[in-house]
Chain A
């Protein structure tokens, strides 16, 4: 019943709306670099997803007869939209974004009771649904042509793509010329007989692709560092996730460098860094205690490398996060801290504690 509150007496952001605003600010470097390398399609993704997120949230709140304004003002729907938008291939069709945002905001979040009640990360629910339902569209990443490079999409083309139903391009520009595989995708489909060194020597990707992805990862890292610095996220999940990825990747790479990616390859490609700082750290769906967060992050890291190397998908952050969301209640029961005055922490879900006398 404290009558004082941190948000009223300290400059630290201590208010859900402001926390979310800082989170949005921290996504800017990542989005900027993505746009720089992959064109305006990134921006349209982010803006459309964010707008749809806010709109859908307001719509559902109205249907649920809740007050709209204060809830939308917590910016959480905006954040979900921005995060989903940033994970989609540039210039994704409006319809796909709508499907994804309905899954994220309406199904994964509001149907469970709104902010704080969702067991799964909304943005990743939307992403996973799109990836499973529309695999072709979702794996068509554009080559890094720059914002308005000579080979890039013209504004009109972009518009056609967005309004078109399934992101197919019209005949004027062949899909091969415009789009390209991501490094993870390319490496995944490397011929079995070919060694990794030979594969990269064939320059399987458009020029600059690797550099572009590395820069994007570093930009997300910069944003993540801001979050850590402002203490909006704990260090536990990003560190344990990236460390677990590095550990498993190192083991696999050491065992067979010709068919497995190096740790650096895993870290700097795909959504690893983005996921570590912006997706896995979603507090609502993550494990609760500090110790639990370490296990949670490590689980995501291991699953990401396993699915990338052995699974059917080139990248796996969404699936890894969702799978670990399932494990959260279990982790929570087994990672309670030792309360002051107790000899050891409680573990497990036993509820009736028998007294010594009663037990004997």
Chain B
């Protein structure tokens, strides 16, 4: 492959994948009890739509997606809902979350399927609805709801669908095995997603240490070559993190995803093979997402391999079935050793994003060595796939110089862990970056909240000012109306009512009145411009609407609406004052002419 088609940096950790690829994918035993967390995806947790005591079949909808970024949850076994309560879930901090617990008998497996669809002859809306109703999320680890990604066409023009089969992290072989055994399904799923996104071609990116999967893909491409889509398979030498979305796109297409942008910004949509298969099963077979393929590996397992297991299955059951030797288990890792999380308990449920469970012995993943001072040797800089300066970011993160960290592009860090891997001082660099990022986000959120409160206050002030101005104008109009008949009756009206001293002073000096009117006109023009600007910003933001920050976006739109309303209030207040001033000016001229008349008469 051409040199230009590559990302900088990268590392070569030992792959350790062969242990789990010796046997075909097995089917895990049907669990007697499953625990299904409501937030197995990125975004808002789903809302339960069943009650304790309800009987459910495999595939019954048990929790509905909430908001824009969310996914449905389905029962993964047949049985009875025995609890909806807070349980421990796989989380680096060992947090708990609301889960739905289903108990079955471990034998009965009744399915509730959706009607099967032929996607080639179904309209897009139905397909979108089907993906939404089947709870499919990205199976590569992040768990982004697939139906949201499928709607990418609404905002971006997509030309290429990339199948991310790089699977660059050590140990994990779930995608490899999926491709070996279900290459045709994966390709068909890719055609479906390409159809929905409008992509004209499919590129499969795979590391060259998976020759079997590559061969299966080649055969499947040849066999299914009856459509207009151009499907290419690109194998490249293994180097971590080539499976990072941005790195893979750079390597396959030489396109760089802009900072803080999405692959869709450069016309690319990335999907994991397992996700594509799940999407196809949801459409073709009407099968909601109730199981996934997970790699069970590590030296503490006697029979490592890949199994297709029901979601919510306790990890202990899966590991015991694979021959777990608890004595030699040093740490249990979900995901890969580079980006995965260490789990503190064995009794956690399998979730949609669990692609791999590593039951590691002390020898293979020993405890981290003692952290030593950074000597700025630059090993991390050479390993960084995003061309950052990790050593500088470390200093800034450690000393909480967040402005400098942002200046050095902290938020372009993909947290791949390559820097921590090579650091001769054993500094857990990524931990520092994560802490700094969440700190910056928290502060930005606080600042935003304060800003929004300020805007709301300003709106209130503007509204009160507008009301006062209007009231003033009305009162002035009334006084003038009452004065006019008096003047017309031409009684020597020398005494002015004290309440209208302002009007009288304005009336007594027409030049001051003019200056007042002029400044009001300027203020009027400025207020009009402010309204126009607020309208422009609001339309821009509401149209651009980023894919992931929906909730944040809604917040921002609301705030912008407040700002627009404030600008409108200001404009209305100035208009009222201007009208009053004009009225007063007209009055003053007529008054003064009357005065001269009177003088003349005298």
Do the beta carbons of A289 and B421 come within 8 Å of each other? no
| Residue of A1, A15, A115, A346 contacting most chain B CB atoms (<10 Å) | A1
Chain B residues 371-419 with CB under 8 Å of chain A are 372-379, 381-382, 385-389, 391-392, 403-404, 407-409, 412, 417-418
Q: Is chain A's interface secondary structure helix, strand, loop, or mixed overall?
A: loop
Instruction: Report which of B250, B378, B404, B426 forms a contact with A340, defined as CB distance below 8 A.
Output: B250
Complex: A15 Cα to B422 Cα, angstroms: 9
Q: Interface centre among B261, B331, B392, B407, by most A CB within 10 Å?
A: B407
Whether the Cβ atoms of A4 and B259 lie closer than 8 Å is no
Find the A residue at minimum CB distance from B363: A8
Q: Say if the beta carbon of B257 comes within 8 Å of chain A.
A: yes
Give which listed residue, A114, A283, A357, contacts B376 with CB less than 8 A: A283
A341 lies within 8 A of B421 (CB):
no
A31 to B433, CA, bound (A): 42
Instruction: Give complex CA distance A195, B13 in Å.
Output: 61
Specify which chain A residues have a CB less than 8 angstroms from the CB of B13 in the assembled complex.
4, 6, 9
Q: Which residues of B contact A32 (CB under 8 A)?
A: none
Q: Which among B333-341, B450-458, B478-486, B567-575 touches the partner chain? A: B333-341
Knowing A3-B340, A341-B246, A342-B409, the reply to whether A16 touches B258 (Cβ < 8 A) is no
Task: Say whether B424 contacts A7, CB under 8 Å.
Answer: yes
Name the interface residues of A25-59: CB closer than 8 Å to any CB of B: none
Binds B, one of A81-89, A125-133, A330-338: A330-338
Chain A residues, Cβ within 8 Å of B497: none
Contact B375 A1 (CB under 8 A): no
Q: Which of B465-493 contact A (CB under 8 A)?
A: none
Answer whether residue B464 sits at the interface, using C-beta atoms and an 8 A cutoff.
no
Please determine whether B407 and A1 come into contact, CB atoms closer than 8 angstroms: no
In the complex, what residues of B have CB within 8 A of residue A283's CB?
375-378
Q: Is the CB of B259 within 8 A of A2?
A: no
Closest to A234 in B: B378
**A7 & B403 in contact (Cβ 8 Å cutoff):** no
- Known contacts: A4-B421, A332-B392. The answer to whether A115 contacts B375 by CB under 8 A is yes
Q: Is the CB of B257 within 8 A of A341?
A: yes
Give the nearest-CB partner of A352 in chain B.
Answer: B403
Q: B368 an interface residue at 8 Å Cβ cutoff?
A: yes
A14-B424, A340-B250 as given contacts; A116 in contact with B373, CB under 8 Å: yes
Nearest CB of B to A105, in Å: 15
Query: In the complex, which of the residues A9, A116, A289 contacts B389, with contact meaning CB atoms closer than 8 Å?
Result: A289
Q: Please, which residue of chain B has its CB at the minimum distance from the CB of A2?
A: B417
B342 at the interface (CB under 8 A from A): yes
User: Cβ of A339 < 8 Å from any Cβ of B?
Assistant: yes
Instruction: Check if B375 sits within 8 Å of A16, measured CB to CB.
Output: yes
Q: What residues of A have a CB within 8 angstroms of the CB of B83 in the complex? A: none
When distances are taken between beta carbons in the complex, the residues of chain A under 8 Å from B418 are 2
Residue A190 lies at the interface, judged by CB distance under 8 Å to chain B: no
Contact with B along A1-24 (1 / 0, CB 8 A): 111111111000111101100000
Which residues 9-37 in B have Cβ within 8 Å of A in the complex?
A: 11, 13-14
Counting CB contacts under 8 A, is B49 at the interface? no
Q: How far is the CB of A359 from chain B (nearest CB, A)?
A: 13
Given the complex, which residues of A lie within 8 Å of B430, measured CB to CB? 1-2
Min CB–CB distance A113 → chain B (angstroms): 9
User: Could you mark each residue 306-341 of chain B with 1 if its beta carbon is under 8 Å from any beta carbon of chain A, else 0?
Assistant: 000000000000000000000000010100011111
Would A1 and B373 count as touching, CB distance under 8 A? no
- Chain A residues, CB < 8 A from B376: 116, 283-284, 286, 288
Q: Which residues of B contact A346 (CB under 8 A)?
A: 407-409
Interface residues in B209-258 by Cβ distance below 8 A to A read 246, 250, 256-258
Contact assessment for A15 and B424 in the assembled complex, using a CB-CB cutoff below 8 Å: yes
CA distance A74 to B375 in the complex (A): 11
The verdict on B76 contacting chain A, using a C-beta distance below 8 Å, is no
Residue of A6, A19, A288, A351 touching B404 (CB-CB under 8 A): A351
CB <8 Å contact, A284 and B250: no
Q: Which B357-375 residues sit within 8 Å CB-CB of chain A?
A: 360, 365-366, 368-370, 372-375
User: Complex: how many Å from CA A346 to CA B409?
Assistant: 9
Contact between chains at A340 and B412 (CB < 8 Å)? yes
Contact present for A341 and B373 (CB under 8 Å): no
Additional 17 contacts, C-beta under 8 A, given A2-B338, A288-B389, A341-B256 = A2-B417, A4-B13, A5-B420, A7-B369, A7-B424, A16-B375, A19-B377, A115-B372, A283-B376, A284-B375, A337-B381, A340-B7, A340-B250, A340-B386, A346-B407, A346-B409, A351-B403
Please list the residues of chain A having a beta carbon within 8 angstroms of any beta carbon in chain B.
1-9, 13-16, 18-19, 70, 74, 76, 114-117, 234, 283-284, 286, 288-290, 293, 332, 336-342, 346, 349-353, 357
- Which 5 A-B residue pairings sit nearest by Cβ, starting from the closest? A2-B417, A116-B373, A341-B259, A2-B420, A3-B337
Can you show 17 pairs from A to B with CB atoms below 8 A apart?
A1-B428, A2-B339, A5-B369, A14-B424, A16-B373, A16-B425, A284-B375, A289-B389, A332-B392, A341-B256, A342-B259, A342-B412, A346-B407, A346-B409, A349-B407, A350-B407, A351-B404
